[in-house]
A and B are shown apart, each in its own frame.
Chain A
Amino acid sequence: MRIFKQWVLAIALYLALVMEGTLSVYLQPALTYQHGRAGFLLLPIAVLIIAYEDERNEKEIWLALAAGVVADLYFWGIIGIYTFILPALSAFGRWYARVFPELFVFRLLGNIVAITVSCLYTWLVFRLIGWTDLTLKAIGFSLLYTAGWTTGISLATYWLWAKLARSYPFLVDLDNYRY
């Protein structure tokens, strides 16, 4: 049970990865607008919130890296998108939590900025490998729409991820710190 508690966050991230793909199928009509689509980025938002709430746990960057490799292979069959984004978001989240006030509004702003930058990185990689030929100007509305969805997902899931990160930090046995 003690070992299981240390891995709860990893299992939760696996479920977030599964839910991200599944909900992207069923929410597709709502995610799509006339000339584009919003990203449904459940996993990156989860990694960010975990990093805010458990900013002293350096092991979480390895969890983010592992989740990134699995997600990359599952969604796209290449390595280099989430493999970079998730550890970078984990590092950013830990820095952000130390520098900015512990207020939900600041965390929400952090999520929107970090996810927008992540989307720009994804677009840049896709441009480099020839998967898209959209210009930076053409993706503007898509980024805005994704920011809207990011706000919604953050509002809906912040409490859950915060609770998990505080109660079950990755590879930390909290029983050692009790009494």
Chain B
Amino acid sequence: MKNFFQNRKMLAAFGTVAVLAALLGSTVMLRNNLSAPLLIQRLGNDIVSVGSRIVSVPVSWFTDGIDSVKDLQNAADENSHLKKKVDELAQVEARNAALEKENKQLKAAAGIKKTLTGYTTTTASVISRSSDSWSEVLTIDKGKSSGLKKDMAVMSGGGVIGRILEVDAATSKVELITTTDSSANRFAAQATTDTDKVLHGIISVQSNGTLTFTQASSSSKLKKGTKVYTSGLGGTSPKGLLIGTVAETTKDSFGLSDLITIKPAGNLSDASVVTVVKRSVAG
């Protein structure tokens, strides 16, 4: 023991590990518990995000140019597909308008002002992403000044991709739905069976990043292709946002309960523009 205290290198190494562990522990605790980051952190984040915004403009021009060339190659097939869809669109729009009007009248008659399905959206660009192999954090160019708050749902490519983790003045961090972080908030979800029974559960993630629908409230089976939506329960996301479709149903490693694998609807690997969803009803 005496030798240990006389060895300066050993003492320095021990001190470094102790300081590092203390810093890690305290900042992880702050990150999980604080509703807004500390002032010094917000300041640092905003300084770096200024550079990110400037750099991301020419980089996105370049990548958009490459994407445009790819899109041109698929233009003919896409055009014929879209023409068919446009023919159906007028009918869908008319029906949608009629249903919306009827819905408003029924809500007024029942005295309901706001429901779990009501929300507004804000579009944002992704300016940065964590560069390591295992964390799933994006930085977007909208923050507190745009009315964003912690835990709001984030969508891209037609489905939910995650939720707001941290809000700074002009930027926010988004934690992807595929994160394996054990302390991350999970989405409450629901799906409807063939027999019109609504199953409630939560979206979990397996260690390989696969999404699963767990803690389902009923033993009714969900068929492949069944759509899974947010249920609006849990207080932060509205009802009816598409999360994904059922890919397969297997048994968990203990063979006791169903493991329902979800194919995500959102664009998780190449999200450059996202939509932040603000729920109308307070949580």
Contact = CB atoms under 8 A, between A and B. Distances in A.
B79 interface: no
Interface residues of A, number: 53
A35 interface: yes
Given A21-B131, A80-B23, A133 B56 contact: no
A122 B27 CA distance: 16
Given A21-B139, A75-B137, A134-B207, A70 B128 contact: no
A134 B16 CA distance: 26
Contacts of B63: 26
A151 to B, nearest CB: 16
A79 B37 CA distance: 13
B121 interface: no
Contact of B133 (A15, A29, A39, A135): A39
Interface string A121-142: 0110110111111110011001
A101 B156 CA distance: 50
B173 A77 contact: yes
Interface in B172-228: 173, 179-183, 207-209
A127 B31 CA distance: 17
A78 B34 CA distance: 12
Nearest to A129: B28
B55 interface: yes
A23 interface: yes
Interface residues of B, number: 49
Given A74-B128, A76-B135, A77-B27, A131 B179 contact: yes
B128 A38 contact: no
B48 interface: yes
Interface string A8-39: 00000011011111111110110010011111
B45 to A, nearest CB: 6
B138 interface: yes
B157 to A, nearest CB: 13
A140 to B, nearest CB: 11
B123 interface: no
A42 interface: yes
Given A39-B133, A122-B133, A132-B180, 16 more contacts: A17-B51, A20-B131, A21-B48, A22-B55, A25-B129, A26-B272, A28-B270, A32-B269, A75-B128, A75-B130, A77-B37, A77-B137, A84-B20, A130-B183, A131-B134, A131-B179
